[in-house]
């Protein structure tokens, strides 16, 4: 799928920077993008995006200093400068893309306020679907972040064609601060979405036997609302044990695909050493189960998902059609809806990975918690406003004029 990424704000900018770096490393041209910010210093921190594709907005209002976690100002700046933003996108070229993906941290100011505004205008102007990848804050980041994220997300679900959520709190380790985990979290985001959005791309093996093209991703996300992504990885069977058909354990192809699927997690199941069809099929089913039942980008009740997409990526010798079909049936039995799409994506790698996209989720405890926290924060603001008014200027003194 050819994706036009827009990184809005600091988190969004860093993510798009990494998506484009991954694309460049793979020698691919599937991804392109620009980054937008109200803070000049954040734009200077970007590494892989040419200066002409970094857009500073709101200069008259905030003079390049950012909007300071105020997402109402973030939304206003984006609305005021929407023509400049659309021109920058057009300049980068949109004629051959399949979708827009707007990335942002929803707890801050610029991306939180700006991304719903941008999604609205992109949908108005272009025919291609507009998705958002929204990062939600951990509760420890403070109530202002939760309030911002709740307001942004509630708006975004109405403006984007689908919002794929990544929850910072579900991904940081105990005792680790969110900030110190950013790099690791971003790698997780870029790996999962990188594999998902690349489905259907032609590799040196051609396209997959059961190719997942962009229309399947688009149809899976068609229901709107929020979605979550699961991922699991396992080592491929070494070449000698697989009749010489599989690639070596290390990514070859000049390291072109090195790292795209990531390394095997510590607790991953031991790899199966026998290459019979049954075992390959069982391995794929096991991998897909682990992807769906393991850590999702947004922890949620998968049984409430309306649609799903199953993608198995790895060396062609490991991509077993029966295994993919059985995995799809298993996913279908476990989600609310009946639409499960899926297929394979041959890549030159020493690993096999499964990506499960759970689309249009009906229930996610973290989202409910976020909305609750935001409601409390809002009530607290109103109460404190009332308190300060009533306490100091209650009765007795007549104002100069009414």
CA geometry: angle 185, 363, 312, nearest 5 deg: 55
Per-residue binding letters, 167-206, with ligand GDP (x by CB under 6 A): -x---------x---x--xx--------------------
Among 109, 230, 342, 343, binds ligand GDP (CB under 6 A): 109
Q: Is 164 in the site for ligand GDP (CB under 6 A)?
A: no
Pairing label, strands 351-359, 307-314: antiparallel
| Residue closer to ligand GDP (CB basis): 12 or 350 | 12
CB of 139 to ligand GDP, least distance (A): 11
| Residue closer to ligand GDP (CB basis): 88 or 257 | 88
| Residue closer to ligand GDP (CB basis): 111 or 315 | 111
Is 244 annotated as ligand-binding? no
Tell me the C-alpha distance between 391 and 115, whole Å: 39
User: Which of 279, 269, 265, 247 has the alpha carbon at shortest distance from 346?
Assistant: 247
CB of 107 to ligand GDP, least distance (A): 3
DSSP annotation string for 21-90: HHHHHTT--SEEEEEEESBHHHHHT--SS-GGGEEE--HHHHTTB--TT-HHHHHHHHHHTHHHHHHHHH
Among 30, 73, 110, 327, binds ligand GDP (CB under 6 A): 110
Tell me the C-alpha distance between 175 and 366, whole Å: 19
Is 109 annotated as ligand-binding? yes
Q: Bin 47: left if φ > 0, else alpha if -120 < ψ < 50, else beta.
A: alpha
Residues 6+ apart with CB under 8 A from 53: 33, 34, 35, 88, 92
Is 110 annotated as ligand-binding? yes
Is 186 annotated as ligand-binding? yes
Pairing label, strands 130-136, 99-105: parallel
Span near ligand GDP by CB under 6 A; candidates 137-145, 150-158, 231-239, 318-326: 137-145
Tell me the C-alpha distance between 269 and 263, whole Å: 13
Q: Is 14 in the site for ligand GDP (CB under 6 A)?
A: yes
Is 323 annotated as ligand-binding? no
Structural contact between residues 98 and 2, judged by C-beta atoms closer than 8 angstroms: yes
Structural contact between residues 355 and 291, judged by C-beta atoms closer than 8 angstroms: yes
| Residue closer to ligand GDP (CB basis): 141 or 344 | 141
Among 19, 145, 197, 351, binds ligand GDP (CB under 6 A): 145
Q: Could you say which residues in the range 214-233 bind ligand GDP, by CB under 6 A?
A: none
CB of 315 to ligand GDP, least distance (A): 31
Query: With 0-12 CB in 10 A as exposed, 13-18 as middle and 19+ as buried, what is 133?
Result: buried
| Residue closer to ligand GDP (CB basis): 114 or 343 | 114
| Residue closer to ligand GDP (CB basis): 193 or 345 | 193
Among 33, 105, 134, 200, binds ligand GDP (CB under 6 A): 105
Among 78, 135, 335, 347, binds ligand GDP (CB under 6 A): 135
Tell me the C-alpha distance between 55 and 87, whole Å: 11
CB of 221 to ligand GDP, least distance (A): 21
| Residue closer to ligand GDP (CB basis): 107 or 208 | 107
Q: Is 141 in the site for ligand GDP (CB under 6 A)?
A: yes
Q: Could you say which residues in the range 35-64 bind ligand GDP, by CB under 6 A?
A: 42
Q: What is the DSSP letter of 3?
A: E
User: Which of 187, 157, 156, 152 has the alpha carbon at shortest distance from 171?
Assistant: 187
Query: With 0-12 CB in 10 A as exposed, 13-18 as middle and 19+ as buried, what is 61?
Result: middle
User: Which of 61, 14, 15 has the alpha carbon at shortest distance from 38?
Assistant: 61
**Residue ranges that bind ligand GDP, judged by CB under 6 A:** 9-11, 14, 42, 105, 107-112, 135, 137, 141, 145, 168, 178, 182, 185-186
Known binding-site residue numbers for GTP: 10-14, 109-111, 141, 168, 186
């Amino acid at each position: 799928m050819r994706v036009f990424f827009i990184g809005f704000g600091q988190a969004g900018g860093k993510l798009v920077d990494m998506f484009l770096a991954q694309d460049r490393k793979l020698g691919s041209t599937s991804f392109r993008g620009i980054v937008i910010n109200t803070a000049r210093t954040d734009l200077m921190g970007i590494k892989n995006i040419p200066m002409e594709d970094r857009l500073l907005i709101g200069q008259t209002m905030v003079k390049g200093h950012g909007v300071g976690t105020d997402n109402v100002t973030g939304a206003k700046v984006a609305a005021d400068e929407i023509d400049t933003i659309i021109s920058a996108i057009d300049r980068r070229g949109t004629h051959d893309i399949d979708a827009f993906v707007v990335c942002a941290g929803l707890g801050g100011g610029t991306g939180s306020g700006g991304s719903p505004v941008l999604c609205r205008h992109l949908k108005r102007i272009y025919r291609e679907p507009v998705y958002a990848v929204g990062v939600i804050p951990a509760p420890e980041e403070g109530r202002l972040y939760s309030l911002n994220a709740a307001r942004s997300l509630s708006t975004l679900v109405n403006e984007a064609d689908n919002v794929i959520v990544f929850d910072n709190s579900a991904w940081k380790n105990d005792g680790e601060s969110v900030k110190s985990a950013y790099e690791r979290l971003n790698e997780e985001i870029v790996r999962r979405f990188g594999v998902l959005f690349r489905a259907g791309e032609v590799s040196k093996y051609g396209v997959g036997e059961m190719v997942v093209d962009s229309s399947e991703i688009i149809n899976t996300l068609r229901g709107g609302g929020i979605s979550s992504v699961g991922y699991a990885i396992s080592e491929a069977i070494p070449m000698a044990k697989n009749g010489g058909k599989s690639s070596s354990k290390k990514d070859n192809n000049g390291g072109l695909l090195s790292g795209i699927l990531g390394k095997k997690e510590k607790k991953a199941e031991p790899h199966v050493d026998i290459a019979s069809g049954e075992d390959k099929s069982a391995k794929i089913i096991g991998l897909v189960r682990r992807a769906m039942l393991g850590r999702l980008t947004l922890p949620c009740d998968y049984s409430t998902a309306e649609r799903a997409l199953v993608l198995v990526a790895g060396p062609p010798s490991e991509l077993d059609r029966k295994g993919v079909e059985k995995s799809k049936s298993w996913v279908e039995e476990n989600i609310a809806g009946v639409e499960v799409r899926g297929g394979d994506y041959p890549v030159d790698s020493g690993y096999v990975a499964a990506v499960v996209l759970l689309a249009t989720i009906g229930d996610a405890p973290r989202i409910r918690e976020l909305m609750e926290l935001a409601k409390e924060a809002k009530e607290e603001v109103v109460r404190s406003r009332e308190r300060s008014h009533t306490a100091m200027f209650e009765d007795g003194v007549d104002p100069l004029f009414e």
